[in-house]
Each structure stands twice: as C-alpha cells, then as structure tokens.
Amino acid sequence: LSPGANVVADLDKKAAENGLQKGVSYHNVSMGQGQDIVAMSCLETAHRNGHWVILNNVHLMPKWLIELEKKLDEYGAEGSHEKFRVFLTSDPSNAIPIGIL
C-alpha cells in the first residue's frame, strides 16, 4: 500500500519481460459488480496454464474475498502450474481476510 505507486504499470512491464501477453496469458481484472465471475474464470485458466492474474481494488468485494481465499487454498492442495501467479491491489481495508494478506 504505497500512495502514488503505479503498481499495475510495473506489473504490466514485468509480465511483458516474462513473455506474457495481456489478455492471453496475463489477465487484469478490475473488481466490482459482476467481476467476481470474470475473476474466477481467469483464475481457473491461470491456475491450469501458468498465467498471471492481477485483481484490482479487491477491497470493493470483501465478501467475495472469502470465496477467493477458499479457491486459492483448493489450488494449493491440488497443485497449480509452477508459473501461476496472483496479484492483488487494494485500498486499506479491515475487511480483507488475513489469509488473503
């Protein structure tokens, strides 16, 4: 949580350096109404194929973060592709589950 930091641009650059293509093997989802379905679809694909996913503004969906935490635990138990990565951006919030942090 660094005010003024452009984390997404830095991550975009790092993804490109690692040969990932935006929208193909690197997925950027801005969280909000209805985006939980999009996020879960991207996560499932990424988990199996070694993609990167960035979920922006997760503080907007605190109840869904419980579902996200469970899904990430499932992926860990099942075994994800070794190149699978998930990145989260958020404003400060007490509603983010400890397991997500």
Summarize pLDDT for 29-73 with one digit per residue, the tens.
999 999 999 999 999 999 999 999 999 999 999 999 999 999 999
**Can you tell me the distance from the alpha carbon of 84 to that of 45, in angstroms, rounded to the nearest whole number?**
10
Other Cβ atoms closer than 10 A to 54? 20
How does 70-92 read in b/e, with b if 16+ C-beta sit within 10 Å?
Answer: ebbeebeeeebeeebbbebbbee
User: From CA 58, how far away is CA 77, in angstroms rounded?
Assistant: 23
The pTM assigned to this predicted structure is: 0.91
